[in-house]
Structure 1
Amino acid sequence: MRRIGRRDIVAAILIALLAGAVFTSPPLQILQGLSLDILTAMRGKLVGDRRDPATSPVVVVAIDGETYDTPPFKGSPTLTWTREIGRVLGSITEGGAKVIGFDVIFPSSIEQSEIPFGDAPLGSRMKGFDRDYLIALRQLSDSGKLVLGEILSNDHPDRPYRAQQLAVKNNIRALNVHTDPDDVIRRMPLSFAIDGKPVPAMAIELAARALGTTPGTEPSGAMQPSDYTIPSAVPNTLTLNYRGMGRDIPAYSFADLRACVEKGDRDFFRRAFEGKVVLLGTVLNFEDRKLTSMRLSGGYDGSPAPRCALPASAGTAQKARSDIAGVFVHATVVRNLIERDAVTELGFPARTILTIAFAAIIACAACMLAPGGAVIAWLALTAVYAGVAVGAFVHALALPLTEPALASLAALAMMIGYRFMLADRDERFLRKSFAFYLAPEVIETMVASGKMPALGGEMRNVTMFFSDLSGFSSIAETMTPGELVTLMNEYLSAMTDIIEGHGGYVDKYIGDSIVAMFGAPADDPAHARNAVRAALKCHEKLADLNANNAAFAGHGLSHRIGLNSGEAVVGNIGSRRRFNYTVMSDTVNVASRLEGANKYYGTAIMASEATVAQTGDAFAWRELDAIRVQGRGEAIKVFEPLAERDGESAEQKKVTALYAEGLACWRAREFAKAVDAFDRLAKVDPPSSMFAKRARALVANPPPLEWTPVNTLEGK
């Protein structure tokens, strides 16, 4: 995790402010509506429709496709339906409906027709056709149980024809809707100014009458029923709450109700409409369809209500649609008002603050984490926030969703760009510059701390790795400087790659020598095993270079490697002005001596018993001898690694067994037997050849009684 500085905090705040301001600005106000759409869809999918249509305080009488296909309406113009409408409305009122609202407008009457029919216009021959209908309207209006609808417009207002206006007096209310810039209805107007006075919208009027109150005026001038203060993010509007996705409002087919009137089933009308608000409107596939906040999930044209007289027509199964019949928009408003269930949206200041805060959190995460981790953090936090928003929406509180999500995504992108262009520039320079000199772990520590290295060290258990090319000085004398540089670069690069590939850290190069350690700077519990594996791989690689690399052709290079494990001081060591990340201790000195000891035995790799002990049973070993190196009085046993455990060849197993037999005779002062054992291997095994000579010398000149089987090495 990256450390945050003061500059990064300032950048994160500025980026969050910019992103929040942009995504909550008026040009992107469409995002506020999109949040409502997404929340409606998510609530519908996650919570579902749990409301029984029978409990709805509002119902719809649908002039639907069935009505158009059922006699006596089939083939008849709607202007001729008025008398039947009046009869059905009368039965609904007798059934106990509280109030009836018209979402259909009859702007003319068949009595007004001037189409010639015989010697006179058709209208004059139809005088009195609407009498019963107008009487029914008058009676319902006088009882306060009827409200006709109209469309307000400066250019083309749409109102009921004059006779209806006179019949209902002032019981006409506007059906106009509030359409967002993307042509989606998410809110409904509460009132309209007519002749300079506020007049309630249709839904407000119906809800007030159902509640037995008179629409009141808020201090802002908006209308409200009873004492319910309607939450309004947009002045003088109500935000629609489609809690049941349209299926919580029962819809009665007008054709079935007309047949029920003919049947005389008054009990059905009482069961269906007692105490209800009734809305009469068209429910057709291609007429008066409205896009609402259910457009993403799909809404329904109500829930099919119980039938009275006609059987349900075939193909009445409902499917979710992106648009719904306009009458259900008004029905939803009425239900929201009666149940005080309108959606509460946050105002502009609260939405902006919330968006900026979320963007700031993501910007800080992007500042601390790598780009991939920051993206995962954005996804996780956005999912959590979306869950919280859906939970709040269940309780009719609409938190902004798209604005915080998009603003935080923009903040994430900008912060990543900021880090790449500015904040991480110094870090990348530091990594690139020091990568040639320091271990990656040391660089990570420097970057994480935000401080330059300082003098100091700590005790660590490490395994030291020393290697040196055999007889390289004489070989170098035969080469040109260019050839020498090429050879050394190839050799040191190959060895370094293997060492670092096994978790080692190259401390320094001394000519053709390599000093490395395992177990620091990075902690590595398996440092001894990794060091031995690296030594074996380096030995194999040198053989490959001798055979296949042109720079090595004809030189037959060989090297010696010494390994030793133990406690050492590791850290920044040097002067106050210049120091190296290195290691110091007797452990280091012993490893150096073991590297040189290889030339006495003719071996390539030699490890101390401390290293062997820390590798467990991971390798096959051959014990070489007990030696006393220069500068150290205590004798140590030394070993040669052969291969991974169970990976040694049959020849290696044979040599190891005979060598162990000879070494046992040597230590038992049975020098003649030791000569016989070692002589059997002397031609193929340099350590055996060396021991055979030593044993033969002691056969000729037996050592004193105080002799110990320890080889004291005089040189390095």
Structure 2
Amino acid sequence: MAVSFGCVLGLMVYLRAPGLAEPREDATGWSLSTVFDTAQAWLDGWERVSYDWRVRELGERSERPDEAVVVAIDDETLAEARQDDRPGVATQPWPRQLVGGMVHRLVEEGALLVLVDLPFTELSPNSCVDPRLSPQPAPNDDAGFRAMLDRDSGRALLAFSWESQGPRVLPPASRLWPYRVKLGSYATPAEARTRAQAVLAVQRPAFLIPAGSQVEVWGGATDEVDGHALGIRLGVSSAAIEERRAADDAWRMGPTDLFVSLAEVQVEGLDPTKLLEVRHLQHPVAPLMGGGSGYGSVTLPADPDGVVRAIPQLVAYTVRGQRHVLPSLPLAAAMRLADTRTLRYADGVLHVGDAYAVPMDASGFSLLRWDAPTAGRGSRGSLSRSIRAWNVLLNVFDVASERPARFDNDLEGRTVVLTRTAGEGGHLRSTPIGPETPGGAILGQALANILRSQGITRAQPDLDFMLTAGLAFSGAFLALSLSFLLRSVRGAVLYVGILVAAAAGYAAGAAYVFIEQRLWIAMAGPLLAMVGAFVVTLLYAFSTENEVRDFVQNALGRYVSPEVARLVTRDLNLMRPERRKMSVYICDIEGFTRLSEGLSPEQLVGLFNEYLTEMAAVVRSTAGQVDKYIGDSVMSFWGAPVRTDRHAHLACEAALKLRVVLEEKQDGWEKKFGRRLSFRAGIDTGEVVVGDMGSQLKSNYTVLGDAVGLAARLESVNKVYGTWVLVGDATAQLASDSYVFRMVDHVRFKGRSQPVRVHELLGRRGEITPRMQALLALYEQALTAYHQRRFAEAHVLFERASMDFKDSVAAVYVARCARFIVTPPPADWDGVHGLEDPGPTAVAA
């Protein structure tokens, strides 16, 4: 029992989040799954507390790094700027020409690299403020900034951020540019991208079209006159102008495409599918992009408790089905310093060329090693130094006025993080070393970790599991071997004291391993397992064998043989519920209340019994299990107690067979009872808990899980669409090789945060009639138009399907399209239809 207790806790430790901990969904009811998730979240919380304590202990023994220096646009800098009368200084945000001047000045003062942790996601609203700052006249603030970055090519890195939630934003419609103008042919993709940047900088789409061994660059134009003007603007006086072809869209390059091509990195030995997939990129605007700059992410996701403990060194972003790997800003800086574009991942370590290495898990996250126990004053965080941006800006003005720079910032051979710490609270993050650590200082610490090839490695889940189970066994052993001490008060105190000493010894050992070897092994889980097993074993020692035997007989004696009961008595693990993937089927008689009117009780029971008999026979013929009858509803499941991987197929087969059986029985029932029967059904597949459940008075072998509730909802919403069998997305995916489905809708039920794809079961593959195939083709065409917001076109197609094929689902969409034509949905409409629960049956409850 003690070891089992330890294994449960060990499983919680083992099933920890591999990288970023996604927020947990709020539980909508009691279930074994929600209890497990709640317990695991509670255990993870205590583990994070123990981790933070070890981080601070390590920081006490470390020296603040000086490899990275923060240049902060802080409150004092902004206060000074508001009182300055030089052009643009008092405005916020500063003109980018001033930022470019600061970058150039930092490089001149000896900075190896300048990491610009500032957003440039929109075109600058400012104009150039001081011609002395730019190396050459610039038409606007963005062009001036880009020219200044190119002056120090390879020395500046720009930041981008990302979001991992929400639908992907579609690119602008290509029909806005019916013409294209040729702007040159280039031998390499890199040269073509440089030309494309110039096109994007003037807010036009670019097309990079292969032409033999070269790449042609074309720009979008509204008409031929506009095309000539664009060519002249970009230095091509006699440019070829053609109508844009639909095939050109495959070669279209937007700002995001250009940015990804400039920022992406190659990583040997890493599976990109395990990286965090991001949905949105907030990157610098096109005029600021160029090959002379590096790019890296500054997004710092927090754990569920809001504390930043790790940095995503690599994330994945998919463009046109191709996955690209994007680096963090510190990692991009380290690659510049190592003069490499290729990374190598092996044995939990990310290698940056042959110069640097940092621990990283397969999901792309690196735990931050903090070289200080607390965040320093001002903007430095755990770093050795920070500098006010105002000091740098004054140096810029001094040099521009041909005066000596007044501040010696001592930046020779160091990397600078130019960041903002004033104003918005989002620049300050909670970390293990303080509740208000500047984001720029966090980036500097991450860079220092890479440059020092230092970091924190988390132990493999297997090791944490074994430690948890091992300490549970140790706690049980102590409880049993020292139980004789309980005969006296002094002995009881010693008994508990030994447990406390053993727990303190493990905590000290875990801290030593963390500080000396930079290895994070689980602490909360093993300690709780030891204490819990100690207590459980002690309580178990006071129980009697007769009580256990009585318990087993009361629980199992009703439906198992005495031999099985004796086996379970010897091994209580056999009584544990089991989690497995199964398919659940729920159906009821359509219009049962109306149908039962006019029938005598004897006739009603007779008809109902015959229906249930046929239902049970069909379920058992497909190796299913009839769970329960509730009124006119029947619940069945496949996948237990006999395991099968084809539970979804069997559930669909049962639905089709039952329909045939009922059609064969209709005439006989009408003659005998004066009634005909039809039914509605819902099928869903998912992980459920299966086992004996109930009270001491009554129990049965049943299932518990989200799939049960969703199957009940699917059965109920048949009446909305006029269908007879609706299935969940997981069922349709598993059984699609043998059965034909069509997607009915993408709905969000009340009480569920995630939308559900609802499918209709149409029949077996190879048995679909030509008429049904024609309906499906028309329906798919209409549904595509509907989801692309072409509601007028969808209305016509759905109306054809409704009138020509008498399709009830199409009739639902006819009404919906008519409503959307009059009142279009909002711009962020994702096609999900909200449904009020149409009254789930008692099975769902």
Asked whether the two chains share a fold, i.e. TM above 0.5, the reply is no
Q: Normalising to structure 2: TM-score of the pair? A: 0.31
Larger Rg: 1
Q: Normalising to structure 1: TM-score of the pair? A: 0.37
